[in-house]
Amino acid sequence: MIRLIGILLLFFAGCSSSHKEKESAPIINEISANKIAISADSNSIDSVNKLAAEEWSKGNYQKALNFVTVAYEKAKFINDEEALAKALNILGLVYWRLGNNVDAMECYKESGNLAAKLNLQRLLGLTHTNRSLIYKAQHNYKMAFFHNNKAIEIFKKSNYYKDLAIVLNNQGQIFKNKNTIDSAKHYYLQALDNYRKIDYKDGAAATYYNLSEIYLKQDLKEASLDAAHKSLFLSFEAKSRVRISEAYQQVSVVFEQLYQPDSALYYFKLFHLYNDSILIANQSDNLAKCQAELGAEVKNLQIQNLENEMQLAQNRIWLIVIIVLILLMTSAFFVYRYLSKNQMKKRRLEIELRSSKVILAVKEQELKNYIIDLANKNSIISKLQSEITKDNIPESNDLKITQLLEQKILTEDDWEIFKSRFMSIYPHFFTRLKHFKTAFTEAEIRLMVLIYLDLSGKEMAKTLGISPQSVRVCKMRLKKKLQPEGFDSVEVFLPHLTKEA
């Protein structure tokens, strides 16, 4: 019995320590390893800052944050104010992309103060540009113009074409937000001229994106589509996931304005695919921990040594470990049973989920087959109608044919049968549709059901006994009804009727 208790103590102590290592080791070990690998000179810190900037421009915020963490810590350690100013500016860029404008502005302000002190004109101009971006997003156009014009003045004197192009593009955006379209277009074209001098594809992609929006506001749809395609092409060449995502979205918007829904939907799906991949890549636990730690570092520049606090906490940890081991000894058996039951329940739920998916697929196929049967009935009726017009039907069959022709496609009986089958698969569909703010006609409801079953336009027209043009007109009418409620198309609206509450 004593040996069994000893084994349990060793097992749970190992599990506890192993779990803590998995949580904390990636951040501490990665930063420590990088500190060891980088020599204590300014050139090595500059190279890490450049790597951070490159990863940021590609949308890899996790990697950018890891690099800038190393550069920031090393610059503080050797008291290199120039490298520290650069790291703070890049850190502000990461915070800005993550939506933390308060900390981003603090980073830019501190970086700008150091740049002015050390006469680093280019870095000072960059901090003015970045502050202008945040003020622009907050609709504080007075301060946005102030910082942006400061940046333009600095970059024009020094012939920094890339930085000048970026700040000119930002000037265009400020005018665009103020709805001064001609001025915005003027600055965008100036930005493109400067980008061509240094072949900066990422910046040119962003400016073409903005120019596409301007052309669209001027109702120059073909020019807008051409600018959006150029933005997408340059984004791929620059390998920037953020720019690719933005370009896909703009191409989709332009195609929608050109009344090409298939192309618009195709690019809209690609936009969501890229956007989701960026969000997933930048929302890990490691990113959140790094962001929290660096936020504390920026606000508390006087904190130099955390090792003493860790030593003080270690004594408390030993006491906690002893208490935890005693609790684990008494609760080990109950925890094991609880985990076993949860595992069995999980497996049972997985089996039920797979079965439900199979049943759902079968029922959906039955609905589609039922619709196809109705469509085939329509073809037979149409054929009989053409034969009657030719007067080649025997008189003995006149009564049967007349009765058949009196049937309508998707009659009330057909509709009720189909509706009951549909409700058995999607029980919330008609209830939510009935309580929706916008009222729909019976014909529109039937069309929405067929759209949800993923029938083509021709199949829907054949089933309902109308022309494909009528189907398209009805879909456009539905879209106009749904747009005030925040839905861009019928296809976007329908999943809201079937998802679980």
Span 96-151, pLDDT tens digits = 888 888 888 899 988 999 988 888 888 899 999 999 989 988 889 889 889 999 88
Rounded Cα distance between 198 and 374, Å, is 63
Q: What is the pTM of this model?
A: 0.42
For residue 282, what pLDDT is reported?
58
Q: Report the b/e string of 123-138 with b at 16+ CB within 10 A.
A: bbbbbbbbbbbbbbee
Q: What percent of the chain has pLDDT over 90?
A: 4
pLDDT at 83 > cutoff 50: yes
Q: Measuring CA to CA, how many Å separate 192 from each of 54, 66, 164, 173, 201?
A: 21, 32, 10, 14, 10
- Phi-psi category of residue 100: left, alpha or beta, with phi > 0 → left and psi -120 to 50 → alpha: beta
| CA-wise closest residue to 154 among 189, 105, 115, 107 | 115
pLDDT at 485 > cutoff 50: yes
For residue 356, what pLDDT is reported?
67
HEC string of 269-280 equals HHHHHHHHHHHH
pLDDT at 239 > cutoff 70: yes
Cβ pair 90, 49 in contact under 8 A: yes
Stretch 263-292: mean pLDDT? 71
* Whole-number CA gyration radius for the chain: 32
Residues in Cβ contact with 385 at an 8 Å cutoff, skipping those fewer than 6 apart: 405
Half-sphere exposure at residue 473, Cβ-oriented, CA atoms within 13 angstroms: 7
Give the angle 60-287-313 at the CA atoms, nearest 5°: 150
For residue 146, what pLDDT is reported?
92
In tens, the pLDDT along 380-411 reads: 555 545 554 554 545 444 444 444 434 444 56
For residue 3, what pLDDT is reported?
41
For residue 323, what pLDDT is reported?
92
DSSP 247-315: HHHHHHHHHHHTT-HHHHHHHHHHHHHHHHHHHHHT--HHHHHHHHHHHHHHH-TT----HHHHHHHHH
Rounded Cα distance between 430 and 99, Å, is 39
- Phi-psi category of residue 151: left, alpha or beta, with phi > 0 → left and psi -120 to 50 → alpha: alpha
Stretch 443-462: mean pLDDT? 85
Q: What percent of the chain has pLDDT over 70?
A: 74
For residue 66, what pLDDT is reported?
87
pLDDT at 29 > cutoff 60: no
- Which DSSP state fits 483? G
Stretch 422-427: mean pLDDT? 81
| CA-wise closest residue to 287 among 61, 58, 28, 23 | 61
At the topology level, CATH places domain 200-270 in: 1.25.40
Mean of the per-residue pLDDT values for the chain? 76
* Cα torsion 410, 414, 416, 420: sign: negative
What dihedral do alpha carbons 362, 366, 368, 374 form, nearest 10°?
Answer: 170
Rounded Cα distance between 104 and 90, Å, is 9
pLDDT at 25 > cutoff 60: no
Cβ pair 84, 49 in contact under 8 A: no
Which tokens go with 44?
A: 């090595």
What dihedral do alpha carbons 259, 262, 266, 269 form, nearest 10°?
Answer: 80
pLDDT at 192 > cutoff 60: yes
Annotated domain spans of the chain: 200-270, 359-498
Cβ pair 84, 114 in contact under 8 A: yes
For residue 43, what pLDDT is reported?
61
For residue 382, what pLDDT is reported?
57
In tens, the pLDDT along 203-237 reads: 888 888 888 888 888 888 888 889 888 888 888 88
Stretch 32-55: mean pLDDT? 64
Phi, psi of 461 (to 5 degrees): -65, -40
